[in-house]
Structure 1
């Protein structure tokens, strides 16, 4: 009898994470002689620990295809740092109870760590399990891969947003708002903010300033740049990463708390910058925080990003069936013009708990604008449109309702 497979989503979702779910499940269905039931965990690793599993056979092929067009996490996600001891032991009890031989864990850097823990435990205990990490993160900070599925669509969203908002501000700047700030995600890296620089297609076009964690924030230098831009262009549109740090490495907007993985919770850098501008330069300033809107914007997804999200899911299954375990499908760029890429497995040991910073060469020497090298890197990732179906003028997204399989173990209280 073939072993069963388990797929789970983890961490913050992306506009195309469900496309990776499609890739995994669809590929597994092509190998029914080697993979039995394909389960999905409800709410990531918490669903595994609590034995809340979904038999994906509930989805017809037509319903399965809908995953490619849907934002959010169809099966639910979570932020939970898997603990050694009771939790790892429980995980493998669930695997044994449901004859799981393959684990496909879809997430970012912290999820890679979880997947690696599971793989190492299986190897140490001599247990039969093939674990493969399926990459995704809008932050684009996974190492050993050219880019991360989810990033291209978010980059497309923020570049579009700052271009449109800039036109709005420009039309009112003579009598009203002079400065607009768009805060985007990026706790430790500035990939998303830098990609917004693609919106500037001519001299004087927004964004006029880009602020990233890789370039220490200096108030005086920033205010001078804002003032010079207003004097030259008439207004100033800014994109800022949430993780801006001062010259001492301290977050500008540290809220004083941490998440499940010990990461600092950030309290919003845009209002801090706006207040600084109003106080020191006396310009009327508006700000917005993209927040969940950027990672949920499936309506403006990049076709390139969608294709890569599906491909990494499919590749994970192919690697597992070939006996390649404890790896992540990495995207390798072969050329930028025309854009060509391929996938190859990289060891999870070299991915987990590591971050890839934005190269400073992707910014100009002042650290506040996108360079030619940065434009060459980012531009292919935004290419192509892949709109979802529309109904009554709005995106027609499915509402997922799944029945859970009957539990075979006693309860476990994982939160």
Structure 2
């Protein structure tokens, strides 16, 4: 029987470790060359499949593939491109199947969040319906940590480590100057609807008075009077106040964000900018001098401070996706299963894509302190192992030495193009 080729694509916002998953896929596919033929990657994610712009991963030598484990961002390019529902428009899905047929692709590995899980599930069903079965496996990735049915999402542990380290260092800085200068520092972190990243900042506060003093979660309704009182009390007690705020926090009608802003292809309004609004609120009501920082791309690209746990898990889910496909599985997402907190033990599992697609996992209320401004010991037990360990990239001349891929194009076979 003729071997089928495989297709891998990266989707949505990239992370410090998504390329580790890519390395896992590529290396496992090469080890299973008796079952899997060529492994192609989509240039700019799923867009590469639609436009028949495929990359031949066999052009990369083993050392370059291994270097993906310590290289941030998306090595093949990613995209925020959401395919329409099958009932709305089948054209895009039929185009994918057409491209897959032309290149003898029978395995589809999609590395992304909830929206990509939805796409993966639809392709699995439609391919069967069209008489060209494709084994579709979803590889989890999201720094937001909001995928269900998995203990954590690859990409989150490294962002969590960045947040905790950054707010601890900023706290030391602020404390040293607060007597005569700045009293308040605000770090705005990513997190649209779920406050996992902001929660991770709480790990830095191990002793009384440690930064951060206040965490702001999307899951907790913002109370202006309560918040200002907390800031004021903190400054009076410790001399300074540090805050980690999730970008998804709504801080009142006077500070509505998102109005008139463009939405991405997934329908998500671009966020960001809550930190200056909070700073303005503190200045106008309390008069304290402030500084703020918006971490944004810096936090998700920070491979130099990645969590070793995160790197290991990202690589493992990539390998597992190939192993599941070779075993005949389809329509599933690879999951990380926690077996114990101390010592931290985990294993690989799976979940049906029907249960994963477009479902968000929020912070449990028992992870958040009673006053809504910090994390509980339960949250600490969950978060602590996810930031454990260091996995530094190699450095040359003082800078990290990251992989540079050839990204050699695969010759097109279809006469018709496709506009997106």
* TM-score of the pair, normalised by structure 2: 0.96
Does residue 11 in structure 1 map to residue 15 in structure 2?
no
Matches within 5 A, 1:50-199: 50-83=51-84, 84-199=89-204
1:38 and 2:42 are equivalent in the alignment: no
Match of 1:395 in 2: 400
How large is the Cα RMSD of the aligned pairs?
A: 1.3
Distance change in 2, residues 1:387/1:267 (3 Å): closer
Runs (4 or more) in structure 1 with deviation over 4 Å come to: none
Task: Map 1:223-302; keep pairs closer than 5 Å.
Answer: 223-246=228-251, 252-256=256-260, 257-302=262-307
Deviation at 1:93, TM superposition (A): 0.8
Gaps of 5+ in 1: none
Q: Which residue of 1 aligns with 2:322?
A: 317
In structure 2, the partner of 1:410 is 415
Q: 1:79 to 1:247 in 2, by over 3 A?
A: same
SS at 1:266 equivalent: coil
Whole-angstrom distance in 2 between the partners of 1:3 and 1:413: 24
Distance 2:191 2:399 in 1: 29
Contact 1:244 1:252 in 2 (8 A): no
Give a deviation string over 1:15-65, Cα, whole Å, max 9, x none. Answer: 000000011111111111100000011000101111111111101111110
Kept in 2: contact 1:181–1:274 (CA 8 A): yes
> Where does the alignment leave 5 or more consecutive residues of structure 2 unmatched?
none
- How far apart are the structure 1 equivalents of 2:122 and 2:386? 31
What SS does the aligned partner of 2:7 have? strand
The alpha carbon displacement at 1:69 in A equals: 0.7
Distance in 1 of aligned mates of 2:349 and 2:21: 16
Distance 1:131 1:159 in 2: 36
Shift of residue 127 of structure 1?
1.8
Aligned mates of 2:146, 2:55 — CA distance in 1: 30
Q: Secondary structure at the match of 2:132?
A: coil
Separation (CA, whole Å) in 2 of partners of 1:324 and 1:58? 28
SS at structure 2 position matched to 1:299: helix
Q: Tell me the alpha carbon deviations over residues 248-290 of structure 1, each in whole angstroms, 9 at most, x when there is no partner.
A: 9x98422433111111222410010000001010011111000
Q: What's the CA shift string for 1:335-389, capped at 9, x where partnerless?
A: 0000001111110000000000011111110111111001000000011111000
In structure 2, what is the equivalent of residue 24 of structure 1?
25
What is the alpha-carbon distance in structure 2 between the residues aligned to residue 193 and residue 85 of structure 1? 39
Q: Deviations over 1:214-256 (max 9, x none)?
A: 00111111100000000001000000000002589x9842243
Q: Matched residues in 1 for 2:122 and 2:179: separation?
A: 58
- Would the alpha carbon gap of residues 365 and 349 (structure 1) be closer, same or farther in structure 2, given more than 3 Å must change? same
The TM-score with structure 1 as length reference comes to: 0.97
Count of residues in Structure 1 that have an aligned counterpart in Structure 2: 414
1:113 shift after superposition? 1.1
Which range moved further: 7-16 or 113-122?
A: 113-122
Farther off after superposition, 6-15 or 117-126: 117-126
C-alpha distance in structure 1 between counterparts of 2:194 and 2:329, whole Å: 31
Q: CA separation in 2, counterparts of 1:330 and 1:208?
A: 33
206-215 or 393-402: which moved more?
393-402
Secondary structure at the aligned position of 2:106 is classed as strand
Deviation at 1:401, TM superposition (A): 3.1
